[in-house]
C-alpha cells in the first residue's frame, strides 16, 4: 500500500526586512524606562567597575544611577552653571566634570564636595578625562586649549594651544598614559603626546568634530562630526579608512558594543544606528522621540542609555534569558528530550535480529482529512483564521492539492454565507500576491462559476465580491503601470549598452531577460 | 552640541495693578504694552514704545497707589487733580536696551524715560512704597536708585558678580532684596548688605515679601523662585542671623511665572499664595509662616484650564490675582495678545480643578467692543512699519497703505480693532500667496526633496512614508527632478521594496518610479552596472505582471456578474411584474424543477438551469447598455474585444453543462 504523501507546502522567500542575528540581538530589550532630567542630557558614562553605575550629566547636575534603580543613587549638584562630561576613573572611585564656569571639579564618588578644583581655563570646559595611569586629568575647553593636570597636587602640567576653535571632544589612550586625542570645531583631530610639547598627528575630519572613540586595540580611531562618521587608522599615520554617512543630521555620540564588533552612533535626527565593524554596514536602527545628545552602553550590552535634548533619559534593559525561557516553558510542557532519544543511538550488533517498526507518520489535520477524502473539511481546516492570516501558503498549498486531484470544485461548493464570505475574504487578501496568484485565480473563477446563481442574494457576500472587484481593478491598473515601467526599463537597458553588437535585452521578453542576466557579469567588474 | 538648558524663554511680563486689581498690564510678543480693564474685560489702553522691537520690554511694575493730593509729582499731575480716589496710575517698564520707561495710565502716554544708567538690559524694576523712588536691576550687575522727581540716578551700586535678575523692596521701604544666584538683602539707608541667602543654583526670577512684620521679631519672611526650579523657597530673616537655609518650600509643576500673595501681618494670619507656572497651571497655597518646615509643601489646590474642543487643548493661564475674600481668584488666560480675564470662585476643598472655557468664542465676543483709547504711532509715507511674525507677509507695502488709512480715521477717534487688523494681516498673506503661485509649490517640493534625501540617508521610515504619501503628480515630478544624483539609486531601491505590497499603496510608488525613470534617464543609462542595479526591480515587475491576462479575464467575469446584480437590484421594483410573467412561461417548459428543492446540494445543474434562464433574459436587456461600458473598459485596458467574447463563450459553456 502506497503511503499517503503529505501536501507539500511551498516555501517562499519572505518579503520585507530580513531578520538577521543582529536584529534579534538588538531587539531583545525591554520597553524603555524614561526619566526626566532637569535639562538636556549631555553625557553618559558607565563606571568601569561592577555594578557598573552610570553618571548622567544634565544641566547643572550629575546624577549617578545604579544598574536597575530609577532613582539616582547619588547626585552632584555643586555646580554653579551647566556641568559637562562627567567621567569615571578606570577604578570607578573618582569622577571628573567640567563646567560652564571654566572650573574643572574632581569628586570622590562616595563624597559630595569636590576634592579638587582645577582653575586655569578661561571658558567653559566641555571635555574631561583621566589618563590611563590615573594620576592625570585631560581637559579641553572652549578657550581653544587642552590641558593636562596633576591630581595629587592639583597643578597644571602642560597646556596645548593648537586648535583654532572650541574643543568639544577628547579621549585618552587606555594603553599609553601619555597619549590623548582631541577633536575640535576647527574640523581637526589632533593626537598629542605628553612627552612632546606639540601634537604628533593631525587629521582633518571636514566637519566640526562632536565625538571620538578609540577601538580597544587603539589602532583605529572613530570620529563623528557633521553627518559623517569616519574611521582612521592611527598606525598608518592617520589614514582615513571609512567614511559613513547614514544620518541626516549631526552625529553627536559614538559607542562601541561590548565585544567590539558593533559600532553605535547617535544623532540629532533621533536615530541610533548600529554598524558592523567588519564591513561598516548598518545592521540595526533604533528610533527615539527626540534629538539624541548622548549614548551609553553598559558592559555586555546589558542596557542602552540614551540622553535627549528634551531632558529625557531613556534606559533599555536587556531581557534576561531566564525570563524568555520561563515564558516558553509555561506555554507548553513537553516530554523531555531524553524520552525521544532513548534507545535511538543503539547500534545493532552482528547477531541481533532486527524487528523494524513502521515509523508512524505524523500528519497535519488537513492532511488527515485529505487522506480520508474529506475535501470540504480539509479546505475548512486550511481556512481557519490562524492559518488564513499567518500562514496563507498552507491554505494555498491545500487549494493547489485539491486542484491537482480535481476535487477543488467539490470542496468549494456547498458553502453557506459565512463560509463563502470567509473564502472571499481570504481571496481578497491574497489574490494579487504574485506568489499565490497562479493558484488562486483559477480557484476564484471556479467560485464564481459555482456561486453565480446566488450572487445578489446575500449582502455580505456581495460586499466581499465588490471588494474583490475593486481589488482587481486596482491591480490591473497597477500592473498596466508596471508594464509601462517595464517598457521604459527595456529601452533603458538597450540604450545603456550600445557597445555590444547583440542587443542584449530584446523585445521578446524571456529571451531578453536571459540575455540581460548573462550580460550582468560583464559590466560588473567595471563598476567595482 | 549647543544644548544647554538655556535661559531663552523668559515669560512675558504680565502684572495686575495693586489693590483694586482693576487693570492688567501686559507686554505681548509684538512689543506693545496693553492695559486691560479686568472689570469690563476690554482693552483699556495700548501703548507702542518707539523702540518696541529692538528694545523689548522685559519687566513691568505698577507704581504704588496714591491719592491725588499727595505724591511727589504735583506739578505734572495738575490735569488729573479731579480724581479723588486712590489709584495706581504709573507703570515702570524696563527694556532690554537698559532704559526704564514710565508710563502714565492717567495721561495715556509716556510720562518720562529714565536712561543712561544701565549698560545691560533691565531685568527688574521695583517702586519704593512711599518715596518717589524706583529701583532697577540690570544684567550689567548694578542696581540703580532713580529719583523720579528729577529723573536722574540717585545712587548706583554693584550688587552682584553676575546679572541682577530680581529685586524686591520690603513693605516698610527699609530693605531691598536683590538676586542673581545669591539673594542679598540691602539696607536702603546705607546701601550696605544686611544679609545674604544662598541656595539657588540658577538665576532667581521671583522675589516677594510674604509678611510685613519687622525683621527684629523673627517674623519677616520672603519668597524666592528660580529659573528651571520647581520649588518656591521661603526664607526667614532671623534676628540672630542664623538663616542659612530656606525654611519652607512649595512644590510646583514647573518654573513659576506669575505670583500673587496676600501678605500676613500677624502670626495668626496665613499667607495665601497663587502661583501660575510656566506650564499654564495655577497652584494655590495657604500656609502659616512660623518657623521651618522640613517637607516641601504641595499646593492646596491646582487649577488647570482646557478648551471645549473635541480633543481638549490646555489653555495656559497667564496670571492670577487673589481676591479679597478667600474663595475668588481673578484669572487671566489665553494668549498674550488677547487675554481673557475672569473672576472665578474656587472650591479649595478639591485638590485639583479643571476649568473648561471656550476661548475662541470669548475671543470674538470681547473683540466686538470697540477700543477707545488706542495710541498708534504716526506713520509717514516714507517710514516703514514692520510687523513681527507671519512669514510671507509683505510689511512695507501694507504698512504704508495702512498708515494712510489710519491718518484719515484719526479724525473720528475710532481706530481699527485688533480683529480688523488681524484680518488685514491674514488677507495680505493670502494675497501674497496668490500673487506668487509659482513660488510656493516650488518651495514645498524643495522641502520634499530635502526630506526625501534625509529619509533615504538615515532610512527613516517616518519621513519616507510622509513623502511617499503625496498624490500630486506635480509635486512628485518636482521632487524627483530636484533630487541630487547620489540619492537616485537609494530611492529606486526604496521604491523596489515598497512596490511589493498591496496595489492600493503600490500604485503611488509606481508614479514615483516613473518620475525617476523619466527625469534621470540619462544618469541611469550612463551607469555601467545598470542591469545589476535594476535587475531586482525588473524581475519583480515581471513576476507580478505574469498573471495580467488571467486577472483581467477574471475581472471581466466578475464585472459582468456584479453589474447584473446591480441592475437587477435597481430594476427590481420596476420589473417585478415582468419577472413573474417570465416565470410563468418557464413553468410550462420544464417539470424537473420540483426535484431541485435544496440549494446546498451538489447537483446544481437544475439550480443553474433556472438561474441561467433568468440571467439570459436579463442579459439580453442589459447587453445593449452594457456593451458600451464594456468597450470603454476594454479600450482602456490593452485587452481586445476578443477577450470579452471569450468570457461570453465561457459563460455559454457553463450554461450548457
Which residues are within 8 A (CB) of B385 and not within 5 positions of it... i.e. 6 or more apart?
B379, B395, B396, B398, B399, B400, B402, B403
**Most confident of the following: A427-431, B74-78, B175-179, B269-273:** B175-179
Of B525, B558, B654, the CB nearest to A492: B525
Report residue A264 as a C-alpha cell. 553605535
Of B453, B469, B459, B495, the C-alpha closest to A287 is B459
Of A103, A136, A97, the C-alpha closest to A122 is A103
pLDDT at residue number B474: 85
Percent of chain B with pLDDT over 70: 67
pLDDT at residue number B220: 83
- Considering chain B, what is the average pLDDT of its residues? 71
What CATH code is assigned to A30-318? 2.130.10.10
Contacts of A475 in chain B (CB under 8 A): 503, 551
Quote the CA–CA distance of A471 and A462 in Å, as a whole number.
14
Q: What is the DSSP letter of B351?
A: S
**A433 touching chain B per CB within 8 A:** no
Q: Where are the beta strands (DSSP E) in A187-250?
A: 188-193, 199-204, 209-214, 220-225, 228-233, 239-244
Of B5, B555, B557, the CB nearest to A59: B5
pLDDT at residue number B492: 87
**A241 touching chain B per CB within 8 A:** no
Q: Which residue of A has its CA nearest to B500?
A: A15
pLDDT of B619 higher than 60: no
Residues facing residue B574 across a β-bridge? none
Quote the CA–CA distance of A380 and B366 in Å, as a whole number.
69
- To the nearest whole Å, the CA of A469 is away from the closest chain B CA by 7
Confidence tier at B623 by pLDDT (50, 70, 90): very low
Q: What is the DSSP letter of B87?
A: B
Quote the CA–CA distance of A357 and A372 in Å, as a whole number.
24
Length of chain B: 657
**Which positions 445-504 of A are in contact with B (Cβ < 8 Å)?**
445, 448-450, 452-456, 462, 465-466, 468-469, 471-486, 488-489, 492-493, 495-497, 504
pLDDT at residue number B198: 86
Confidence tier at A17 by pLDDT (50, 70, 90): low
Q: Where are the beta strands (DSSP E) in B338-409?
A: 339-345, 352-356, 373-374
**Most confident of the following: A176-190, B40-54, B526-540:** A176-190
Cα angle A256-A261-A265, degrees, rounded to a multiple of 5: 35
What CATH code is assigned to B14-67+88-357? 2.130.10.10
pLDDT digits (tens, 9 = 90+) for B202-223: 889 889 888 876 656 677 888 8
pLDDT digits (tens, 9 = 90+) for A106-143: 999 988 888 989 999 998 999 999 999 889 999 999 99
pLDDT at residue number B214: 66
Quote the CA–CA distance of A272 and A319 in Å, as a whole number.
19
Report residue B613 as a C-alpha cell. 434562464
Of A434, A484, A489, the CB nearest to B538: A489
Confidence tier at B433 by pLDDT (50, 70, 90): very low
Tell which wins on pLDDT, B447 or A126. Answer: A126
**Global ipTM:** 0.72
pLDDT mean over A189-197:
90
Contact B565 A462 (CB under 8 A): yes
Q: Which of B547, B556, B609 to mutate to test the interface with A (most CBs of A within 10 A)?
A: B547
Q: Which of A39-43, B390-394, B412-416, B535-539 has the lowest mean pLDDT?
A: B390-394
**Which positions 319-378 of A are in contact with B (Cβ < 8 Å)?**
none
Alpha-carbon distance values, A199 to A202, A235, B471 (Å) = 7, 16, 57
Of B524, B488, B454, B1, the C-alpha closest to A245 is B454
Cα angle B585-B589-B591, degrees, rounded to a multiple of 5: 120
Confidence tier at A501 by pLDDT (50, 70, 90): very low
pLDDT at residue number A166: 92
pLDDT of B78 higher than 50: no
Q: Identify the helix (H) or strand (E) that includes residue B37.
A: strand B33-37
pLDDT at residue number A331: 56
Residues facing residue B304 across a β-bridge? B354
pLDDT at residue number B425: 56
Contact A448 B558 (CB under 8 A): yes
pLDDT at residue number B590: 43
- Domain spans in chain B, listed from the N-terminal domain onward: 14-67+88-357, 448-546
Report residue B384 as a C-alpha cell. 516703514
Contact A486 B608 (CB under 8 A): no
- To the nearest whole Å, the CA of B546 is away from the closest chain A CA by 8
pLDDT digits (tens, 9 = 90+) for B108-152: 888 888 888 888 889 899 998 887 889 999 988 899 999 888 888
Confidence tier at B651 by pLDDT (50, 70, 90): very low
Confidence tier at B604 by pLDDT (50, 70, 90): very low
- To the nearest whole Å, the CA of B56 is away from the closest chain A CA by 26
pLDDT at residue number A223: 93
Tell which wins on pLDDT, B354 or B571. Answer: B354
In SS3 terms, B95-135 reads as ECCCCEEEEECCCCEEEEEECCCCCCCEEEEEECCCCCEEE
pLDDT at residue number A127: 93
Contacts of B490 in chain A (CB under 8 A): none
Q: Which of A2-6, A54-58, A239-243, B260-264 has the lowest mean pLDDT?
A: A2-6
Alpha-carbon distance values, B210 to B1, B171, B221, B273 (Å) = 41, 9, 5, 9
pLDDT mean over B391-398:
39
Q: Which residue of B has its CA nearest to A15?
A: B500
Of A454, A469, A496, the CB nearest to B562: A469
pLDDT digits (tens, 9 = 90+) for B312-342: 778 888 888 887 777 788 888 887 778 888 8
pLDDT at residue number A457: 80
Cα angle A232-A233-A239, degrees, rounded to a multiple of 5: 75
pLDDT at residue number A508: 41
User: What radius of gyration, in Å, describes the C-alpha atoms of chain A?
Assistant: 33
Confidence tier at A263 by pLDDT (50, 70, 90): very high
pLDDT of B432 higher than 70: no
Quote the CA–CA distance of A444 and B507 in Å, as a whole number.
23
**B3 touching chain A per CB within 8 A:** yes
Of B128, B172, B22, the C-alpha closest to B85 is B22
Q: Which of A295-304, B17-26, B180-189, B309-318 has the lowest mean pLDDT?
A: B309-318
Report residue A470 as a C-alpha cell. 475593486
Confidence tier at B481 by pLDDT (50, 70, 90): confident
Contact A524 B532 (CB under 8 A): yes
Of B299, B329, B304, B330, the C-alpha closest to B317 is B304
Q: Which residue of B has its CA nearest to A528?
A: B529
Q: Which of A18, A461, A479, A518 to mutate to test the interface with B (most CBs of B within 10 A)?
A: A479
pLDDT at residue number B368: 39
Are B512 and B468 a contacting pair, CB within 8 Å?
Answer: yes
CA B82 to chain CA centroid, nearest Å: 46
pLDDT at residue number B603: 41
pLDDT of B20 higher than 90: no
Quote the CA–CA distance of A477 and A484 in Å, as a whole number.
11
Contact B457 A513 (CB under 8 A): no
pLDDT mean over B287-312:
81
Q: Global pTM?
A: 0.52
**Which positions 536-565 of B are in contact with A (Cβ < 8 Å)?**
537-539, 541-548, 550-555, 557-559, 561-562, 564-565
pLDDT of B344 higher than 80: yes
pLDDT of B155 higher than 80: yes
Q: Which residue of A has its CA nearest to B180?
A: A80
pLDDT of B415 higher than 60: no
pLDDT at residue number A333: 67
Are B611 and A452 a contacting pair, CB within 8 Å?
Answer: yes
**Which positions 56-95 of B are in contact with A (Cβ < 8 Å)?**
none
Amino acid at each position: 500500500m502506497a503511503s499517503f504523501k503529505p501536501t507539500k507546502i511551498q516555501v517562499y522567500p519572505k518579503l520585507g526586512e530580513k531578520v538577521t542575528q543582529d536584529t534579534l540581538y538588538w531587539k531583545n530589550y525591554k520597553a524603555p524606562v524614561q526619566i526626566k532630567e532637569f535639562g538636556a542630557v549631555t553625557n553618559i558614562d558607565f563606571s568601569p567597575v561592577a555594578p557598573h553605575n552610570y553618571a548622567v550629566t544634565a544641566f547643572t547636575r550629575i546624577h549617578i544611577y545604579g544598574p536597575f534603580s530609577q532613582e539616582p543613587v547619588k547626585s552632584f549638584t555643586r555646580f554653579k552653571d551647566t556641568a559637562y562630561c562627567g567621567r569615571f576613573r578606570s577604578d570607578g572611585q573618582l569622577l571628573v566634570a567640567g563646567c560652564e564656569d571654566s572650573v574643572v571639579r574632581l569628586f570622590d564618588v562616595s563624597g559630595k564636595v569636590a576634592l579638587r578644583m582645577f582653575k586655569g581655563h578661561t571658558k567653559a570646559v566641555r571635555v574631561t578625562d583621566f589618563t590611563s595611569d590615573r594620576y592625570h586629568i585631560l581637559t579641553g575647553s572652549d578657550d581653544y586649549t587642552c590641558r593636562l593636570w596633576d591630581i595629587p597636587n592639583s597643578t597644571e602640567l602642560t597646556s596645548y594651544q593648537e586648535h583654532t576653535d572650541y574643543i568639544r571632544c577628547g579621549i585618552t589612550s587606555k594603553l599609553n598614559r601619555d597619549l590623548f586625542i582631541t577633536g575640535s570645531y576647527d574640523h581637526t583631530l589632533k593626537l598629542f603626546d605628553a612627552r612632546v610639547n606639540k601634537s604628533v598627528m593631525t587629521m582633518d575630519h571636514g566637519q566640526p568634530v562632536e565625538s571620538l572613540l578609540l577601538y580597544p586595540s587603539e589602532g583605529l580611531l572613530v570620529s563623528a562630526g557633521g553627518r559623517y562618521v569616519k574611521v582612521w587608522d592611527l598606525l598608518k599615520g592617520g589614514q582615513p579608512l571609512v567614511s559613513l554617512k547614514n544620518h541626516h543630521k549631526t552625529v553627536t555620540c559614538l559607542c562601541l558594543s561590548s565585544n567590539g564588533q558593533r559600532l553605535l552612533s547617535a544623532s540629532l535626527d533621533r536615530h541610533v544606528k548600529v554598524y558592523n565593524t567588519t564591513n561598516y554596514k548598518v545592521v540595526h536602527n533604533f528610533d527615539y522621540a527626540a534629538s539624541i545628545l548622548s549614548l551609553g552602553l553598559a558592559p555586555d550590552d546589558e542596557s542602552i542609555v540614551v540622553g535627549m535634548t528634551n531632558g529625557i533619559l531613556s534606559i533599555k534593559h536587556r531581557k534576561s534569558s531566564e525570563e524568555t525561557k520561563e515564558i516558553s516553558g509555561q506555554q507548553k510542557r513537553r516530554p523531555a528530550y531524553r524520552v525521544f532519544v532513548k534507545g535511538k543511538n543503539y547500534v545493532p550488533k552482528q547477531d541481533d535480529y532486527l524487528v523494524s517498526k513502521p515509523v508512524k507518520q505524523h500528519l497535519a489535520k488537513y492532511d488527515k482529512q485529505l487522506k480520508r477524502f474529506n475535501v470540504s473539511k480539509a479546505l475548512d481546516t486550511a481556512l481557519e483564521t490562524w492559518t488564513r492570516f499567518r500562514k496563507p501558503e498552507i491554505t494555498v498549498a491545500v487549494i493547489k492539492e485539491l486542484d491537482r486531484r480535481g476535487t477543488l470544485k467539490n470542496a468549494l461548493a456547498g458553502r453557506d454565507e459565512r463560509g463563502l464570505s470567509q473564502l472571499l475574504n481570504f481571496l481578497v487578501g491574497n489574490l494579487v500576491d504574485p506568489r499565490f496568484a497562479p493558484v488562486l485565480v483559477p480557484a476564484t473563477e471556479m467560485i464564481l462559476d459555482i456561486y453565480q446563481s446566488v450572487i445578489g442574494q446575500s449582502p455580505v457576500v456581495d460586499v466581499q465580491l465588490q471588494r474583490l472587484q475593486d481589488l482587481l481593478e486596482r491591480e490591473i491598473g497597477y500592473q498596466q503601470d508596471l508594464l509601462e515601467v517595464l517598457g521604459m526599463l527595456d529601452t533603458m537597458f538597450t540604450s545603456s549598452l550600445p557597445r555590444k553588437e547583440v542587443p542584449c535585452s530584446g523585445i521578446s521578453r524571456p529571451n531578453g531577460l536571459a540575455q540581460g542576466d548573462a550580460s550582468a557579469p560583464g559590466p560588473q567588474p567595471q563598476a567595482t | 552640541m549647543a544644548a544647554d538648558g538655556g535661559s531663552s524663554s523668559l515669560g512675558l511680563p504680565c502684572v495686575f495693578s495693586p489693590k483694586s486689581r482693576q487693570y492688567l498690564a501686559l507686554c505681548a510678543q509684538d512689543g506693545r504694552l496693553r492695559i486691560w480693564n479686568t472689570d469690563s474685560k476690554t482693552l483699556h489702553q495700548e501703548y507702542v514704545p518707539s523702540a518696541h522691537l529692538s528694545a523689548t520690554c522685559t519687566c513691568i511694575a505698577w507704581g504704588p497707589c496714591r491719592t491725588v493730593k499727595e505724591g511727589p509729582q504735583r506739578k505734572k499731575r495738575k490735569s488729573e487733580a479731579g480724581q479723588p480716589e486712590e489709584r495706581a496710575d504709573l507703570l515702570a517698564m524696563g527694556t532690554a536696551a537698559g532704559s526704564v520707561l514710565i508710563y502714565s495710565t492717567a495721561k495715556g502716554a509716556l510720562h518720562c524715560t529714565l536712561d543712561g544708567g544701565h549698560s545691560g538690559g533691565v531685568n527688574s524694576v521695583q517702586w519704593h512704597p512711599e518715596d518717589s523712588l524706583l529701583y532697577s536691576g540690570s544684567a550689567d550687575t548694578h542696581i540703580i536708585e532713580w529719583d523720579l522727581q528729577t529723573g536722574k540716578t540717585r545712587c548706583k551700586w554693584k550688587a552682584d558678580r553676575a546679572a541682577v535678575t530680581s529685586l524686591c523692596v520690603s513693605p516698610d521701604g527699609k530693605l531691598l532684596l536683590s538676586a542673581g544666584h545669591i539673594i542679598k538683602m540691602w539696607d536702603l539707608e546705607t546701601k550696605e548688605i544686611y544679609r545674604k541667602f544662598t541656595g539657588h543654583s540658577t538665576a532667581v526670577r521671583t522675589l516677594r515679601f510674604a509678611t510685613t512684620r519687622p525683621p527684629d521679631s523673627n517674623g519677616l519672611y520672603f519668597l524666592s523662585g528660580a529659573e528651571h526650579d520647581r520649588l518656591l523657597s521661603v526664607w526667614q530673616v532671623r534676628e540672630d542671623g542664623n538663616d542659612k537655609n530656606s525654611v519652607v518650600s512649595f512644590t510646583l509643576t514647573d518654573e513659576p511665572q506669575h505670583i500673587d500673595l496676600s501678605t500676613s501681618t500677624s502670626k495668626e494670619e496665613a499667607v495665601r499664595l497663587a502661583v501660575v507656572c510656566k506650564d499654564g497651571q495655577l497652584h494655590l497655597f495657604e500656609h502659616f509662616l512660623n518657623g521651618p518646615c522640613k517637607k516641601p509643601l504641595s499646593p492646596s489646590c491646582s487649577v488647570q484650564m482646557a478648551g471645549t474642543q473635541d480633543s481638549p487643548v490646555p489653555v495656559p493661564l497667564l496670571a492670577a490675582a487673589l481676591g479679597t475674600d478667600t474663595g475668588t481668584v481673578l484669572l487671566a488666560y489665553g494668549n498674550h495678545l488677547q487675554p481673557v480675564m475672569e473672576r472665578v470662585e474656587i472650591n479649595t476643598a478639591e485638590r485639583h480643578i479643571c476649568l473648561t472655557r471656550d476661548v475662541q468664542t470669548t475671543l470674538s465676543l470681547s473683540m466686538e467692543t470697540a477700543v477707545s483709547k488706542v495710541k498708534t504711532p504716526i506713520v509717514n509715507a516714507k517710514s516703514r512699519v514692520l510687523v513681527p511674525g507671519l512669514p510671507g507677509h509683505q510689511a512695507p507695502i501694507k504698512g504704508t497703505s495702512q498708515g494712510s488709512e489710519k491718518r484719515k480715521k484719526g479724525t473720528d477717534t475710532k481706530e481699527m480693532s485688533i480683529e480688523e487688523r488681524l484680518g488685514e494681516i491674514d488677507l495680505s498673506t493670502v494675497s501674497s500667496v496668490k500673487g506668487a503661485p509659482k513660488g510656493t509649490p516650488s518651495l514645498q517640493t524643495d522641502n520634499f526633496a530635502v526630506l526625501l534625501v534625509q529619509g533615504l540617508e538615515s532610512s527613516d521610515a517616518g519621513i519616507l512614508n510622509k513623502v511617499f504619501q503625496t498624490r500630486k503628480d506635480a509635486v512628485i515630478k518636482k521632487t524627483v527632478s530636484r533630487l541630487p544624483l547620489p540619492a537616485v539609486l537609494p530611492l529606486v531601491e526604496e521604491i523596489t521594496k515598497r512596490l511589493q505590497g498591496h496595489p492600493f499603496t503600490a500604485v503611488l510608488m509606481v508614479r514615483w518610479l516613473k518620475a525617476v525613470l523619466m527625469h534621470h534617464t540619462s544618469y541611469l543609462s550612463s551607469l555601467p552596472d545598470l542591469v545589476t542595479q535594476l535587475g531586482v526591480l525588473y524581475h519583480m515587475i515581471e513576476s507580478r505582471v505574469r498573471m495580467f491576462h488571467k486577472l483581467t479575464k477574471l475581472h471581466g467575469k466578475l464585472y459582468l456578474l456584479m453589474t447584473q446584480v446591480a441592475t437587477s437590484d435597481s430594476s427590481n421594483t420596476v420589473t417585478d411584474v415582468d419577472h413573474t410573467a417570465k416565470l410563468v412561461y418557464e413553468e410550462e417548459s420544464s417539470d424537473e424543477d420540483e426535484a431541485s428543492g435544496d440549494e446546498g446540494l451538489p447537483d446544481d445543474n437544475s439550480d443553474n438551469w433556472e438561474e441561467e434562464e433568468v440571467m439570459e433574459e436579463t442579459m439580453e436587456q442589459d447587453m445593449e447598455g452594457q456593451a458600451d461600458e464594456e468597450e470603454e473598459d476594454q479600450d482602456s485596458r490593452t485587452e481586445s474585444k476578443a477577450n470579452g467574447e471569450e468570457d461570453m463563450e465561457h459563460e455559454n459553456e457553463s450554461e450548457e453543462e
